[in-house]
Amino acid sequence: MGTNLKFKKRKSQLKSINRVLLKHFLLLSVLLICLLEVICFLIVNNTAKSTAKERLIRVGREAAELVDDEAEATEFIRNYRQDGIIVYVLSQSGEVLLPSDETVWNGDMREIIEKLDKEDKESAQVIYSQDNALNYAMRLDYGGGSYLVATYSLGIINGASRLLLVYFVIVGVTVLLLTAMVAYNVSQKLSSGLKNLSTTAVRFSEGDFAVNFANAEYQELADLSDTLNSVRDEVKKSGDFQRELIANVSHDLKTPLTMIKAYASMIREISGDNPEKRDKHLQVIIDEADRLTGIVNDVLNVSKLSSNLDGIKFKVFNLTEFLYGMLNKFDYLQETQGYTFLVDVDANLYTRADEEKIGQVIYNLLSNAVNYTGEDKTVYISLKRNMTAERIKLTVRDTGKGISKEDLPEIWNRYYRIKENHARPVKGTGLGLNIVKIILENHSFDFGVESELGKGSSFWIDFPAVPEKEEND
Ligand code: ADP
């Protein structure tokens, strides 16, 4: 409850992807639009002004060249009035000399003379802005010393710039609206994909293993879906394994426990005083206790191997000697129960593997051969190097009933048992071959079985052969 509250509190402090995306998208768009528009505006405005300046100077100079021909100069000046360029030729006192049909000029002559004086006297010309207009003035020799003044009103450019600004605002707002729509759409799609996955995950967490995480719209979400699907499969597998384990183990434990209890009661009530009977009954109890130990060990091994708790510890060892050591453990069967182990083994074959785990594998194969071999109670074991001395093949063969084609692929699975009575010395749990399979797969060793009904089965493992000198690596 406490953690739930904390979780809820933390959740309420989190930001929604939708809002964050929208906010950042809009912020970025506003910034970009403003930046672009300011740059555009400055470029347009400056270009317009510098073009106007160049034109003003050009018209002024052309007019200055025409002043000697009054009529032509007047016409020239008149023509440019329509374009907004106003040219006057003035005397030192400000009287209008040209155009010849005008008499009044409303400017300040002193100011122009001052501006020209401030400039480099040699150039005798000046360009300056004043009263929202661009002005060009130059000294002339005409009329014994006069001035040409050309003016261009910046009002036209400023008006055009204002219009441009209005356009920019309209375009900006439109782009912003479009961006907002796109951002909203994208964020909506993205978050709806995530919401779907999250809803599916909630169903999954409630134990529905039939859920399917799916998102084909975006690569990253599709990858996440795939990962979640494999998590689902793993969780399901491990859940199945646990259920299967509990069901099988409790079933397997029940029989020996019942037997132990029954024989213990029998000793107490019937055979306690009869040493012969008592010993027989005690032997059953010991056998069943061994069986219990076997079951518990197998279960522990399978769960340890399945959860990969201890990895494979590779080392080089003498496989021939190791196999002989394993066979010694079965000596009591030869001595007391008439089993024959026919062994054909090459001397001093070395391999690189996890010795302890390979011991488990060989023990399981030998136990099965003993359990399932035929009436002759014979088991054939061979360990042979191949022609190129690169591989070693271990074969454990029995003469039993064999395994049918349908059962062959299944025997490696957990708890798979072919319906059969095996009242034999080494009792199975249905986990033996599964342990063999997991260990050999973890080693990446090839292994398999050939079997024919009525003739027997032959289990084999392919080991890598390594030189003896690597033994202490
Ligand atoms: P179990 O503990 O029952 O022997 P295993 O996993 O070792 O379990 O083997 C699975 C099943 O495969 C056995 O129950 C048996 O039916 C079959 N099997 C294994 N080895 C042999 C064999 N050598 N000959 C015939 N059947 C076999």
C-alpha–C-alpha distance, residues 299 and 245, integer Å = 8
Confidence (pLDDT) at 425:
53
Which token pair is 228? 């979640």
Query: Which pLDDT tens digit goes with each residue over 129-171?
Result: 887 889 999 988 888 888 999 999 888 788 888 888 899 889 8
| Band of pLDDT at residue 18, cut at 50, 70 and 90 | confident
Ligand 1 atom having least distance to the Cα of 412: 6
Confidence (pLDDT) at 1:
45
Nearest CA to ligand 1 atom 11: 417
Is pLDDT at 205 greater than 50 in this prediction? yes
Confidence (pLDDT) at 420:
56
Which token pair is 326? 């394993």
Distance 420 CA to ligand 1 centre (A): 9
Distance 204 CA to ligand 1 centre (A): 37
Q: Distance of CA 59 to CAs 76, 85, 130, 169, Å?
A: 9, 8, 19, 36
Confidence (pLDDT) at 6:
52
Signed CA dihedral, 353, 355, 360, 366: sign only: positive
Distance 394 CA to ligand 1 centre (A): 18
Q: Distance of CA 255 to CAs 13, 157, 237, 432, Å?
A: 58, 105, 27, 19
427-453: b (≥16 Cβ within 10 Å) or e: bbbbbbbbbbbbbbeebebebebebee
Residue type, 309: L
Confidence (pLDDT) at 261:
92
256 Cβ inside 6 Å of ligand 1: no
Q: Residue 128: which region, alpha, beta or left (left: phi > 0; alpha: psi -120 to 50)?
A: beta
Distance 28 CA to ligand 1 centre (A): 69
Sequence-ordered list of residues with C-beta below 8 angstroms from that of 10, at least 6 positions apart, any chain? none
Beta pairing partners, 138: 125, 148
Is pLDDT at 2 greater than 50 in this prediction? no
Distance 324 CA to ligand 1 centre (A): 23
418 Cβ inside 6 Å of ligand 1: yes
Q: Is 388 exposed, middle or buried (0-12, 13-18, 19+ CB in 10 A)?
A: exposed
Distance 454 CA to ligand 1 centre (A): 15
438 Cβ inside 6 Å of ligand 1: no
Confidence (pLDDT) at 446:
96
458's enclosing H/E stretch is strand 456-464
Q: What share of the chain is helix, strand, coil (3-state, %, to 5)?
A: 60, 15, 25
C-alpha–C-alpha distance, residues 384 and 469, integer Å = 20
C-alpha–C-alpha distance, residues 416 and 199, integer Å = 37
383 Cβ inside 6 Å of ligand 1: no
360 Cβ inside 6 Å of ligand 1: no
C-alpha–C-alpha distance, residues 450 and 444, integer Å = 20
C-alpha–C-alpha distance, residues 308 and 320, integer Å = 28
Coil, helix or strand for 212? Answer: coil
Best of 360, 372, 440 for a ligand 1 pocket test (most atoms within 8 Å of beta carbon) = 372
Query: Which pLDDT tens digit goes with each residue over 290-304?
Result: 888 888 888 888 777
298 Cβ inside 6 Å of ligand 1: no
Ligand 1 atom having least distance to the Cα of 419: 16
The percent of residues above 70 in pLDDT, for the chain, comes to 92
Query: Which pLDDT tens digit goes with each residue over 392-438?
Result: 999 999 999 999 998 899 899 877 776 654 545 555 677 889 889 98
Nearest CA to ligand 1 atom 20: 368
Distance 368 CA to ligand 1 centre (A): 6
- Average pLDDT estimate for 101-118: 83
Distance 286 CA to ligand 1 centre (A): 24
Q: How many CA atoms within 13 Å lie on the side-chain side of 12?
A: 5
